[in-house]
Amino acid sequence: MFATRLASGIVLVAIALASIMLGGDVWFGVVLAISLVGLYELYRVFHLQKDLLGILGYLFTVAYYALLHGEEKEFAPELLVGFLICLLACYVFAYPKYRTEQIMTALFGMVYVVFMLSYLYQIRELADGAYLTGLVFFCAWGCDTCAYVFGMLFGRHKMAPVLSPKKSVEGGVGGIVGAALLGAAYGAVGAHFGLLEAEGNIAAVFAVCCAAGAVISQIGDLAASAIKRNHDIKDYGHLIPGHGGILDRFDSVIITAPIIYTLAVLLM
């Protein structure tokens, strides 16, 4: 199991690195594909993956990414409103086929998976975008690793005893500190070798971004776990051997990407 997980992890990182470096339409296509698969996985939990509500979600996902690719993301709120109107039309004209919870789930999936993952593409389009996109994964996955190590060594107090008994407050703090240090090192390397156009104390900026992102990433990790526990499933899918589905591997990345994007725009 460990060998499978390690091998698929290496392949995943290699694909991510190559796609990020190429950028442009390649990275756009990768993020779109991740978003569609992630949305499908979430809808499957609620049995909407092949329903009209799910199909509408996929169509509006493609429409939303078309806006991003055309640099017209300012119309994203209107698109979300249009999606809600279509969902409500299904709700009323097919009544009583759908329940309000299904309508809210379809809308939630669009915001939680599609909109938030799209920041991976939006970050790549910024100045220093390739390096900053790497920071998202460095922060999210670095926090996961550091939290695990610190939790194993020093964990005493449970962070969420009912939801995730193995996660500790000490591990959470270690994840934040570890992510900040990794971010500082990542920024220092980029600045030293001229991989970044931005000036100033990049190491400090990256440390702040990673510390903030690490706090949020742990919420994302626990939130994804809460959904699975509510619906008695172990993994969202089996696309990535040893890891599960897209949402299992990207649960912390989903919620970290918007934070890194916002801080990068504000601080750099």
Spatial contact of 144 and 94, defined as CB atoms under 8 Å apart:
no
The residue that leads in pLDDT, 125 or 196, is: 125
d(CA 205, CA 226): 32
114-136 as b/e: b if 16+ CB within 10 A: bbbbbbbbbbbbeebbbbbbbbb
Spatial contact of 209 and 176, defined as CB atoms under 8 Å apart:
no
So what's the pLDDT on residue 13? 77
Question: Over the stretch 189-224, which tens digit does the pLDDT of each residue have?
Answer: 999 888 888 778 899 999 999 999 999 999 999 999
Mean pLDDT computed over every residue of the chain: 91
Q: How confident is the model at residue 2 (pLDDT cuts 50, 70, 90)?
A: low
> For a pLDDT cut of 70, what percent of the chain falls above it?
98
Residue 120 one-letter amino acid: L
Q: Answer whether residue 118 shows pLDDT above 90.
A: yes
Tokens of 232: 């008695």
Helix residue ranges per DSSP H, the chain? 2-22, 24-45, 52-69, 76-93, 100-109, 116-117, 119-124, 129-154, 169-192, 202-230, 246-267
Q: How large is the C-alpha radius of gyration of the chain?
A: 19
Taking residues 24-31, report their average pLDDT: 96
Domain ranges of the chain: 1-125, 127-268
Question: Over the stretch 60-76, which tens digit does the pLDDT of each residue have?
Answer: 999 999 999 998 889 99
Taking residues 108-136, report their average pLDDT: 95
Q: Answer whether residue 261 shows pLDDT above 90.
A: yes
So what's the pLDDT on residue 109? 97
> Residue 49, SS3?
coil
